[in-house]
């Protein structure tokens, strides 16, 4: 390799985290596709399946801040290797459960393991990626999850039909273990320690991160949770995840039941919003970096997020009035495009305000977001059972998106959190 390499090592690192994001969402969405055979084999109601879907998000939320702290303290090499291995084991064990309680325990531990994924990636990005490139990098990583989910819906339906729902979970668990082994072998927390990094690339990385690396001091969690800036990021991310997690959990069975679709047909329709989510991530990441390079740091975070929440609210509300599956999927896709536009500015802002504690800060934001996911997976079946309609759920999702707009107006990405 020479200094004029077309594919620098830092971009190879991003490719690795992109693949990981695909695995994250692939593993996460499989249970949604397998809902009917799982429910039939274990004798579960829709409300019980709601708990099985949401308990993941609870475990995921509870371990976000600890995982982010460990990523900051121990480095992304060790932490990502460990957490990917842990959640892959519990992905495989999902295929071995035989009752409702066992399913809840395994899915909670699966969520706890997966909690370290994106905070670990944030820590790696902070060390390897210059500030001017981070918007697009975050967009690429989150698009990996959306592409993974889009592929997973029809592929998982095919895999379950080919083997069984139990064997499908075991196969995906093995894929995660393979990624963890490759990551530990290839990645280094300090770019200087990677044999493939040239002098010119190291200079680019160091110059792009030199104003952010301070002396790492112990973090005060009291200051973290008493910070107004932290709560703003948590509040808006709760809204974003409330919209997106519906697509990960209930969109497939919702479309299948409401429009009387077969499994594969429902899989293809339900995959469309994830494709648009990937596009939303790419567009938002590009927009974040474009505005940042224009010298408008504050606007580079706020504008993409505000546009995204507007589109999410419009798409969610419009989907209510669609009588045909195509129209509903078009507007839900618009909503997911918008919701995913909020991800790159959100995680870029966490690196802005978190600095050397970016893993902890981003993990705390993601904790709040996945409490939103937890409530989504439960709110949909319970609200439908209580009201006899899915309209109230969609109205609630739209309202949360609208409320996130004034929250972003109050965010100050140029003001680092004081956490020591």
CA 233 to chain centre: 15
pLDDT for 76: 93
Spatial contact of 352 and 414, defined as CB atoms under 8 Å apart: yes
Q: Where are the domains of the chain?
A: 9-410
CATH code, 9-410? 1.20.1250.20
pLDDT for 1: 35
Q: How far apart are CA 156 and CA 177, in angstroms?
A: 19
CA 178 to chain centre: 21
pLDDT for 387: 92
Residue by residue, pLDDT tens for the chain (420 residues) are 344 456 889 999 999 999 999 999 888 888 888 888 999 999 998 889 888 888 888 888 889 888 888 888 899 999 999 999 999 999 999 999 999 999 999 999 999 999 889 889 988 988 899 888 888 888 888 888 888 888 887 888 889 989 999 999 999 999 999 999 999 999 999 999 998 998 898 998 888 776 655 555 678 888 888 899 999 999 999 999 888 888 878 888 888 888 888 877 887 888 899 899 989 999 998 999 999 989 999 999 999 999 999 999 999 999 998 889 999 999 999 999 999 999 999 989 998 898 878 878 888 898 888 888 888 888 888 898 899 888 999 999 999 999 999 999 999 998 888 877
Q: How far is the CA of 350 from the CAs of 131, 191, 378, 395, 415, in angstroms? A: 12, 21, 28, 29, 11
Q: How far apart are CA 77 and CA 188, in angstroms?
A: 6
Give a three-class secondary structure readout of 297-352: HHHHHHHHHHHHHHHHHHHHHHHCCCCCHHHHHHHHHHHHHHHHHCHHHHHHHHHH
Angle between helices 228-249 and 297-319 (to 10 degrees): 40
Query: pTM of the prediction?
Result: 0.76
Q: How far is the CA of 254 from the CAs of 68, 210, 263, 323, 371, in angstroms? A: 34, 49, 12, 14, 22
């Amino acid at each position: 390799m020479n200094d004029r390499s077309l594919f620098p090592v830092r971009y190879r690192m991003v490719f690795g985290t992109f693949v990981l994001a695909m695995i994250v969402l692939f593993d996460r969405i499989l249970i949604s596709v397998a809902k009917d055979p799982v429910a039939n084999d274990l004798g579960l109601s829709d409300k019980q399946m709601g708990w099985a879907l949401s308990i993941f998000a609870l475990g995921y939320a509870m371990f976000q801040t600890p995982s982010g702290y460990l990523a900051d303290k121990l480095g992304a090499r060790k932490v990502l290797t460990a957490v990917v291995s842990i959640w892959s084991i519990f992905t495989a064990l999902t295929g071995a459960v035989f009752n409702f309680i066992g399913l809840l325990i395994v899915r909670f531990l699966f969520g706890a393991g997966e909690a370290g994924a994106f905070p670990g990636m944030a820590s790696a990005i902070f060390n390897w990626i210059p500030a001017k490139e981070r918007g697009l990098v975050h967009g690429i990583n989150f698009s990996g999850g959306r592409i993974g989910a889009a592929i997973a819906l029809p592929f998982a339906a095919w895999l379950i039909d080919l083997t069984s729902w139990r064997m499908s979970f075991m196969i995906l668990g093995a894929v995660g273990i393979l990624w963890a082994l490759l990551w530990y072998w290839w990645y280094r927390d300090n770019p200087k320690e990677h044999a493939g990094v040239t002098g010119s690339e190291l200079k680019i990385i160091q110059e792009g991160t030199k104003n952010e690396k301070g002396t790492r001091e112990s973090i005060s969690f009291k200051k973290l949770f008493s910070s107004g800036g932290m709560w703003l990021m948590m509040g808006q991310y709760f809204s974003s995840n409330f919209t997106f997690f519906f697509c990960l959990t209930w969109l497939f069975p919702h479309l299948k039941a409401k429009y009387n679709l077969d499994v594969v047909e429902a899989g293809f329709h339900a995959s469309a919003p994830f494709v648009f989510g990937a596009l939303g991530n790419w567009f938002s990441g590009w927009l974040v970096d474009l505005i940042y390079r224009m010298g408008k740091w504050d606007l580079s975070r706020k504008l993409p997020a505000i546009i995204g929440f507007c589109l999410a609210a419009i798409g969610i509300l419009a989907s209510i009035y669609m009588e045909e599956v195509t129209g509903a999927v078009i507007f839900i896709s618009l909503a997911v495009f918008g919701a995913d536009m909020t991800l790159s500015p959100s995680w870029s802002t966490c690196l802005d305000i978190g600095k050397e504690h970016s893993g902890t800060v981003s993990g705390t934001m993601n904790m709040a977001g996945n409490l939103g996911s937890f409530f989504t997976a439960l709110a949909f079946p319970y609200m439908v059972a209580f009201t006899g309609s899915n309209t109230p759920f969609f109205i609630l999702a739209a309202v949360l998106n609208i409320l996130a707009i004034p929250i972003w107006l109050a965010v100050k990405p140029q003001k680092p959190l004081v956490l020591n």
